[in-house]
Chain A
Amino acid sequence: ETGVTQSPTHLIKTRGQQVTLRCSSQSGHNTVSWYQQALGQGPQFIFQYYREEENGRGNFPPRFSGLQFPNYSSELNVNALELDDSALYLCASSLAQGGFGGYTFGSGTRLTVV
């Protein structure tokens, strides 16, 4: 059984640029959620994808968008990067049906915006 894998592990971008982060869900999991974790803070929910559609969104602007693919992997896209977007971006996969438990996190992508 493979866990959640994220790529890249680290990334440096310039303000105004666009970035795409990738996540492969754990085997058997069909739901992917993305979280933003600022330094010294707890993760904040961005959005969740189930059956290739957005299924819940946190308090993030539309320049944060995502995709889920038929194999349940997912992408997080951020347009018009701002300095405050610098954070650790975490992907978590879970099994939607009977969804107590199984929120497995990847190691994250550390994004630095300069």
Chain B
Amino acid sequence: GESVGLHLPTLSVQEGDNSIINCAYSNSASDYFIWYKQESGKGPQFIIDIRSNMDKRQGQRVTVLLNKTVKHLSLQIAATQPGDSAVYFCAEKNGGSQGNLIFGKGTKLSVKP
């Protein structure tokens, strides 16, 4: 069935290091992917997105890479800061412009000072 999952449930990095969070998806027809950050007691916060016609997209300190051949998505965070500690979810959009999002279980990122 359709699913979005993450390879690692937890990730611990040192402050200042780069973080890489991975995600596998199974629906080759998905046309849009989003990374969300969720802090305790809050809703998911948009980080960065990418359409299926792109391989890479950069934001402020974040980069998303999409490899459609192996259905893999990654989020790279440069110079990770304590404020980056949270659970990170990738989500794929199902269907057309009004499609719902399918989320994975999330990766908990812990940043050590």
- Which residues of A does B touch, CB under 8 Å? 4, 31, 33, 35, 40-45, 48, 50, 55-56, 58, 90, 92, 96-101, 103-108
Contacting pair B97 A103 (CB below 8 A): no
Contact of A45 among B43, B51, B101 (CB under 8 A): B101
**What range describes how many residues of B lie at the interface?**
20 to 34
A49 to B104, CA, bound (A): 23
- Total of A-B residue pairs, C-beta within 8 Å: 65
A-side contacts of B96, CB under 8 Å = 99
B98 lies within 8 A of chain A by Cβ: yes
Contact of B32 among A44, A58, A92, A100 (CB under 8 A): A100
Give 1 or 0 for each of B15-59: 1 = CB within 8 Å of chain A CB: 000000000000000001010100001111110010100000000
Give 1 or 0 for each of B78-111: 1 = CB within 8 Å of chain A CB: 0000000000010101011111111111100000
